[in-house]
Structure 1
Amino acid sequence: MRRRCALVAGAVLAALTTTSAAAPPEEGPGPEAARQQGTITNGGDPLGGAEVRLYRAGDGWDDPATVLGTARSAPNGRFEIGYHRPSDPESVLYVVAEADPAGDGYRAQGRDPVRLTAVLPASRRSRVVVNERTTVATAFSMAQFMEGAHIAGPRPGPRNAALTSRNLADARTGGIARVLAAPPNGDRTSTLRTFNSLANLLASCAGPDSCERLFRLARAQGQPPARDTLQAALNIARAPGHRAGALFRASRTQRVFTPELESAPDAWTLALSYVGTGRELDGPGNVAFDADGNAWIINNYEFGADPRETVCGAEQVVKFTPDGRNAPGSPFGGGGVYGAGYGVTFDPRGDLWVGNFGFQGRGCEKDQGLLSRSVSQFSPAGLPLSPRAGWRVGGIDRPQGTVADRSGTVWLANCGNDTVTRIPGGDPRDAENIDPGSELLDTPFDIAVDTEGRAWVTGNRTSNVLALAPDGTPVASVEGGGIDAPMGIASDSLGNVWVANSGIIQPPCGDISIEDFLESVLDPRPEASVTMVDAQGRTPDSPFENGGLYIPWGIAVDGADNVWVANFGGQRLAHLCGADASSCPPGHRTGDPISPAGTGYTSDALVRNTGVQIDPSGNVWLANNWQTRPRLTNPGGHEMVVFVGLAEPVETPLVGPPQRS
């Protein structure tokens, strides 16, 4: 891919050598002289004689990683490196250890079979244990920023990825991190067992006869075998569905880390569940990321642990840090927020806008009709800028999709009255209502802004996409290409828009009740697909299918213009090749499934998902919106589920088409 080629060049062919590949060690006094101590283990045993390097990650594609110091591990695996701390306290520091347990034979072939790594703990004075668990954690979290032993990328990508790495492995002990070990993760999902199986897979290289098998199975498509254990882990993280069964069998040759998987996964993905304080999320509908990669999440319902007890609409917006912790000051209330659905966006100023759909559980006695006709606005600090009742302007009625364009105009799809609200420059005083007529737009659901500034609106009941000029004038209606009961829509950087065709969903707007909606989604699996519409309104002869599509709802495009789809059924994430097939695995064409064709990337952490978005570290976030078998008093799910390191990073906040970070 373009980004990875640039990184290899910036690191001076770092992946091909083990000496002088990175920038030279930093000279001169730093803020403080320091020593990093630790232990290297391989297959559960100390690894002596390993060459150990301490790196500072680069802060951009053209800023290669820097070696801060080196050492060689003692027979008991211990090492100590003296160095000067970087002047930036937020620098990402990590250790890479290289050794050859098979002797000089692999060295003669230019290979280092065992290469292990760990991101240092937040407390720089902690000792570290570098092993297979810390290597898997680093490889998956840094999958979009690492080549060879070198990590580099623009802020906040690698820095946030380091936080995610610490949610998987505890580098102080080489064990499982607290987030992965405890609910809602731990024994509640298969992620912990998958993580241990991946570590066992790398541990298979502890024996001199096992490396070749691992390297062959972890070969990147169209490339030679992996050259070391770290490269094997990176290859698996970037193509998790490739040879999944064979890799599982190889993982069973070493049983160092437990508990582990008992059967092969459809793909080697790691999905973490985040709940903040555990009393905030109920029916999360969508998420938007600010410039620092913090996640701002909207909820359908006020939190209630018991699905049998009625809940009313959520009156707050939740902010998570990039690693899923509750951010200071969160949740944020006021400004008219009530029962937000799918609509949340940042504008170019950094203000947050939330469409208030008015969701509430059956039995809530609040006036839903009154509370579902506004949009709320918050400052970057979470202060409400809209009045207590929200901005009730431009004919807003049960808004869903809510997006801002690069001029600062805010667009809302009014599911309740078949119109679109346009707020030029984000000034509610200038708001206008656009009514193209129900024959052109019936039950609008979502909006995406293309490279020309046009707003494309999905019409759920008209099974079309309506294009509006930047001034709001309707300019085209597209009905071909298999568009069928569309929900989400997303634009790419090449001028195309991508439509998620549910094939069956009828949003609870107008004369469709929540009971009607529930009945439709509990029916057997419908035909599901995705349609690409180009800048001229043209579509393929038939839509794109497979990849695990099952009641598609949300859709997002990553920094390489590939496509990700959240499904309201099937507990899966779908991944399709985008319009630029050069960024896809060899042999893939536009629309082909990259995720396993029959299943997608499944996870038992998922329930019914609506929103899907990509963060600046390449993590894919999904909103666990409804329970699999919901009670209408409180049907909401309670988690955000994050697939670690799967996608090309996106610059945030996302305003208009995605840009590679």
Structure 2
Amino acid sequence: MQIPGKIRLGLLTLLGALSAVCSQALAGVRIEGQVQAGGGPISNSTVTLWSASAGEPKQLAEAKTGSDGQFQLGTDATPGTDTILYLVAKGGVATINKGSGDNPAIVLLTVLGNRPPAKVVINEMTTVASVWTHAQFLDGTAITGHPLGLRIAAGNVPNFVDLATGGWGEAIQGPLNSGQTPTMANFATLADVISGCVVQVQAAACNSLFAASTSPTGTVPTDTLAAAESVARYPWYQPNRLYDLLGQFYQVSTVNHMLTVPYMPYLNWAPSAWVLPLKFDGGGYRAGGKAMFDSEGNLWVGDNFTIGWQGQDSLWQGHATKFAPNGKPLSPITTGFTGGGMEGGTFGAAVDANDNAWFTNYGSKAIAVFDKNGKPLTPPEGITFNGQLGLIQGIIVTPSGDVWVLGVEKNQLIHFPKGDLTKGRIVCEGDKEEPCKSFRAPFHLGIDQQDRIWVSNSGVEHVTRFPASDPSKVENFKTGINNSGLGIDSQGNVWVTNRFGTGLLGMAHLIDMGVRLKLEGVTAASDYLTTIMSKQKGGAFGGSVTLLRPDGTQFPGSPFKGGGLPGPWAAAVDGNDNVWISNFAMPSSPIVQLCGARTENCPPGFKTGDQISPPGGYAGGGLQMLTDIAVDPAGNVWAMNNWQNIDSCIGTPPEAISTRCGGQGVVIFYGMAKPVRAPQIGPARQP
């Protein structure tokens, strides 16, 4: 039988396509690469290709490097979509140090992601990048974790290193990070001291590295990967030990008077902690408020202002920004996502089970909702209840699907049963009925495991609690002064940030702010708040954090104060129930890690409320004056820069800095916290 030409051509096309698909499947993974140390090859090193997922990692292939450090390996297995691939190089001879012999302490790592490049490098820099991004998933050479977390972690490795060359990645050497923060120098210094052991710059170099990276639990590393993991897990622990190795391992050049290190720039002084934060901007971000993650790990944040505007508290016109898990902006570059009443985002953002993003707004006095692609689901003016809403702040989605909103200006409570935009109502307002009678400038809210809603009040020394089923049944519990952030842990304990701390000075500030609100209006009160906070220092006269048990009684030692709490704004609970605090204070405000209620998840010797981070908190990364802080499904901690130059934010600023009020960019601290499920609906839970 003769097949007609058109049909024959179609069959040939189909067969060709099937052949291509089959050949791709059969091809599996083929990788060429080189193992390096100190810029030179490592010969006779054993390179293993692994597949990581939620279960035990699987070995896929193995090869030995030649005298030039080169290797080739492959597998016919095609990695599943829920896996990532990584390479481990063990042992070998660093040829840059001739005669050094085989070094069994060499263990280097390169995480490749789901689709590896054809050519890769394994060296000290890829090891640092892979360890810090995967700190929550690494145990020796084994990487294990939930698919989203692994995907996020692997996707951030290229921000630090170029996998094909082993050199600098795009983000770390970009203009936001390279010359603006100490991250590049921190990173290179870590690579230098690891290289000292790999190359064996001294006979006892590896022993020195292992001693300097011994954990607070007393665990002594036995190889370079274990040393890097120890430092990444406890970056705050005696950081000078590792820094001191720089001067021990390397001599000063007589030519350029710099240390003869393989990687530059190196640090001139010991850091306060071995953290590697990176800053990202774009997507319309300017003065971000509250931030939440969706089910894919993307971050949504409402912006106070819009890029290019001379933004101040008297003019809120910002939109919505969306960042990918690797920090890349996904919303329009200048405006962000617009429409639906989005005008002047606040400390109110929530993501529901359908990945719709809800925002409260100051400029429009409206609620705006976007779908996962940034399309407005609310009318152009937003939801205003016919203009009845005042300035609004906190918003949450509950496990039952309900949405609750707070009106800070009119002491309002708004409820959307099951998140239905057509069925929203103002539950109460002002002093007419509870729970609004107990509100005084309500700011943020959360729901506990008993379906009770807790509300922080920025105008009084208490939080308000009521059952979601009957908001009229109100209880109030004493806190510090000028509450803002609120986070609930897995046991139902409630962490509350007190921006004015406790005591007479804080109360005097609160009274002064209230007088300005009554006589001069919201803008004057807001300017007073931010001015006072910008001058606060950590300690007795700074801010504080209150911890309430589920029954509302204060935890022993609460409220907690410390050098890292000058102006605490937000509280985020991680998957281990440890607590992360942002600060709105000095121009480079720190973030702080506190030991939570489950002290078994804290380092040895720490009790609930103790500051795990350095005395002044974690710094660097381009931090400015912060509002929110959030933990993603990979354990990365995101901080929202809200203000950058207070002189631009109040009164009539000098023309040259008149657009620099709004904070620039978000800062990501990698692998610092136990991961949290996203979207977070209710108390924080592990993925």
**TM-score normalised by L of structure 1:** 0.87
The equivalent residue for 1:487 is 484
SS in 1 for 2:188: helix
Compare CA radii of gyration and give the structure with the larger one.
2
Aligned-residue offset at 1:114: 1.3
The equivalent residue for 2:442 is 444
SS in 2 for 1:186: coil
The equivalent residue for 2:90 is 98
| Aligned partner letter, 1:465 | V
Distance 1:389 1:545 in 2: 42
Deviations 1:114-165 (A, max 9, x none): 1101122776343111111100000000000111111121121011111111
The structure-2 alpha-carbon separation of the partners of 1:39 and 1:121, relative to structure 1 and needing over 3 Å to count, comes to farther
SS in 1 for 2:347: coil
Task: Judge conservation of contact 1:281–1:639 (CA < 8 Å) in 2.
Answer: yes
Task: Judge conservation of contact 1:576–1:593 (CA < 8 Å) in 2.
Answer: yes
| Residues 1:159 and 2:181 are matched in the alignment | no
Distance 1:588 1:560 in 2: 14
Q: Which segment drifts farther, 507-516 or 91-100?
A: 507-516
Deviations 1:54-85 (A, max 9, x none): 11111x2xx11111100111122111112125
Aligned-residue offset at 1:489: 0.3
The structure-2 alpha-carbon separation of the partners of 1:399 and 1:308, relative to structure 1 and needing over 3 Å to count, comes to closer
Distance 1:55 1:157 in 2: 17
Distance 1:311 1:138 in 2: 45
The structure-2 alpha-carbon separation of the partners of 1:523 and 1:220, relative to structure 1 and needing over 3 Å to count, comes to closer
Deviations 1:476-504 (A, max 9, x none): 54443x52211100111111111011115
Q: 1:265 aligns with which of 251, 260, 271?
A: 271
Task: Judge conservation of contact 2:42–2:94 (CA < 8 Å) in 1.
Answer: no
SS in 1 for 2:191: helix
Structure 1 runs of 4+ aligned residues shifted over 6 Å read: 308-311, 505-510
The equivalent residue for 1:6 is none
SS in 1 for 2:322: strand
The equivalent residue for 1:362 is none
Q: 2:399 aligns with which of 391, 406, 415?
A: 406
Aligned-residue offset at 1:439: 6.4
Aligned-residue offset at 1:430: 3.8
The equivalent residue for 2:548 is 533
Distance 2:353 2:436 in 1: 32
- Residues 335-414 of structure 1 mapped to structure 2, 5 A cutoff: 335-358=340-363, 371-372=364-365, 374-393=366-385, 396-414=389-407
The equivalent residue for 2:301 is 297
The equivalent residue for 2:630 is 613
Query: What's the C-alpha RMSD, in Å, of the aligned pairs?
Result: 2.5
Aligned-residue offset at 1:246: 1.3
| Aligned partner letter, 1:400 | Q
Task: Judge conservation of contact 1:580–1:590 (CA < 8 Å) in 2.
Answer: yes
Aligned-residue offset at 1:352: 1.3
Distance 1:290 1:195 in 2: 30
The equivalent residue for 1:500 is 497
Distance 1:324 1:43 in 2: 30
Q: 2:235 aligns with which of 233, 240, 258?
A: 240
| Residues 1:319 and 2:322 are matched in the alignment | yes
Task: Judge conservation of contact 1:611–1:623 (CA < 8 Å) in 2.
Answer: yes
SS in 2 for 1:47: strand
Aligned-residue offset at 1:112: 4.2
| Residues 1:626 and 2:643 are matched in the alignment | yes
Distance 1:102 1:78 in 2: 13
Distance 1:590 1:125 in 2: 45
SS in 2 for 1:333: coil
Task: Judge conservation of contact 1:281–1:303 (CA < 8 Å) in 2.
Answer: yes
Give the paired residue count.
Answer: 606
The equivalent residue for 1:143 is 135
| Residues 1:431 and 2:443 are matched in the alignment | no
The equivalent residue for 2:170 is 178
Distance 1:424 1:321 in 2: 30
Aligned-residue offset at 1:639: 0.5
The structure-2 alpha-carbon separation of the partners of 1:226 and 1:619, relative to structure 1 and needing over 3 Å to count, comes to same
Aligned-residue offset at 1:264: 0.8
The equivalent residue for 1:417 is 410
The structure-2 alpha-carbon separation of the partners of 1:243 and 1:645, relative to structure 1 and needing over 3 Å to count, comes to same
The equivalent residue for 2:572 is 556
| Residues 1:286 and 2:290 are matched in the alignment | yes
Distance 1:87 1:623 in 2: 36
Distance 1:574 1:468 in 2: 30
Task: Judge conservation of contact 1:116–1:229 (CA < 8 Å) in 2.
Answer: yes
Q: Which segment drifts farther, 113-122 or 576-585?
A: 113-122
Aligned-residue offset at 1:438: 7.2
Q: 2:48 aligns with which of 32, 53, 67?
A: 53
Task: Judge conservation of contact 1:423–1:432 (CA < 8 Å) in 2.
Answer: no
Distance 1:329 1:594 in 2: 38
Task: Judge conservation of contact 1:447–1:489 (CA < 8 Å) in 2.
Answer: yes
Aligned-residue offset at 1:588: 1.3
| Aligned partner letter, 1:131 | N
> Aligned residues: percent identity?
31
The structure-2 alpha-carbon separation of the partners of 1:406 and 1:614, relative to structure 1 and needing over 3 Å to count, comes to same
SS in 2 for 1:180: coil
The structure-2 alpha-carbon separation of the partners of 1:464 and 1:75, relative to structure 1 and needing over 3 Å to count, comes to same
Structure 1, unpaired ranges of 5+: 1-27, 104-110, 359-370
Distance 1:325 1:621 in 2: 13
Task: Judge conservation of contact 2:402–2:417 (CA < 8 Å) in 1.
Answer: yes
Task: Judge conservation of contact 2:331–2:337 (CA < 8 Å) in 1.
Answer: no
Distance 1:509 1:190 in 2: 41
Task: Judge conservation of contact 2:43–2:65 (CA < 8 Å) in 1.
Answer: yes
Task: Judge conservation of contact 1:98–1:114 (CA < 8 Å) in 2.
Answer: yes
| Aligned partner letter, 2:282 | G
Task: Judge conservation of contact 2:361–2:391 (CA < 8 Å) in 1.
Answer: yes
Distance 1:352 1:509 in 2: 31
SS in 2 for 1:178: coil
| Aligned partner letter, 1:433 | V
Q: Which segment drifts farther, 65-74 or 412-421?
A: 412-421
Aligned-residue offset at 1:604: 5.2
SS in 2 for 1:451: coil
Structure 2, unpaired ranges of 5+: 1-22, 96-102, 251-260, 501-505, 650-657
The structure-2 alpha-carbon separation of the partners of 1:56 and 1:329, relative to structure 1 and needing over 3 Å to count, comes to farther
Q: Which one has the bigger helix percentage?
A: 2
Distance 1:352 1:615 in 2: 16
The structure-2 alpha-carbon separation of the partners of 1:326 and 1:430, relative to structure 1 and needing over 3 Å to count, comes to closer
| Aligned partner letter, 1:77 | G
The equivalent residue for 2:652 is none
- Residues 617-656 of structure 1 mapped to structure 2, 5 A cutoff: 617-632=634-649, 634=659, 635-656=661-682
Distance 1:196 1:121 in 2: 23
| Aligned partner letter, 2:447 | V
The equivalent residue for 1:590 is 608
